[in-house]
Structure 1
């Protein structure tokens, strides 16, 4: 029976609830597919930051290399700036393990009630696919004239041809539920941008 080592990082707030429920789903699937999960939980979160002054230890990424997957919940706290929670935990994990796709499927399954009237199972069957490591996520920028009336923030978004290409290829390779017929792919881009994406627009 295959065993998979899963690092559990529940994060903050609703992230804890979502991961707890997700683990129940994994546990229900395990016997059906003849696999086992070996969970190891790490306390990295905003509470960890308040106690240690960092979102995770400097050895965290090396530790996570020992696992088959990382199950990471939402992170964030009203008393901590987003750049600390994001660049202290979430984004380093994405970049280190090249998690370049954010995949968000939305499916109306049999036996599930929909808030939209008249919808049958699989009438709602879509996935939002977003690039997850480039753009503003590269954390290139900074502040000037800090704590003065002229304070300014600068953020540079970086897009590589490789990053755009593999994100654009993902929808064609996404298997989905197999119920959607016909399949449509929509590509969202903001035309107010002067240079971003223009050479690699699909």
Structure 2
């Protein structure tokens, strides 16, 4: 399993794309609704080529190394899901566990989503081409704010086969040798920060106010 991805809905898609480009991410896909039809606006097209066309973007995908970030047009900043690369065996085991405990699983040809109790989803992805072959810019840690529930976090740990690294009434950290998920108690669910490993050094907020930390 590899934690590789997160997705936002936001009213700032152009600002988000420009920000991540400045961090070295490449835009490899734009899909949006134009005149009632879904169309692609992939590079080499730039925003100046379609800015006045009132395209409502369903997805803009950006990739750097082993990290894939997507966002789409929304009314406000909304954290939607995280993504995990899995092989066939990991996929089958994860889906089976989620179904066993009663979490909703929506299987698709290109990806599968598991709904959590906190209004964010877990994407299971088997297609390795969603990241590049370059061995850099791994997601090491994600910190997510959410309404605490020890029972539900225990279920998540079971589904993803993670070990507890630290736990108290306000914070739970779970993970494996490759990556960690940190959960902090909060009334609303939100992706608070992301730490990248083997990338450039930076410490900055993106336009939706998620803290991004790059460490060598």
User: In which range does the TM-score fall when normalised by the shorter chain?
Assistant: under 0.3
Q: TM-score, normalised by structure 2?
A: 0.26
Q: Determine which structure has greater relative contact order: mean sequence separation of CA pairs < 8 Å that are 6+ residues apart, divided by chain length.
A: 2
User: Based on CA coordinates, which of the two structures has the bigger radius of gyration?
Assistant: 1
Q: TM-score, normalised by structure 1?
A: 0.27
Query: 1 or 2, which has the higher strand percentage?
Result: 2
Query: 1 or 2, which has the higher helix percentage?
Result: 1
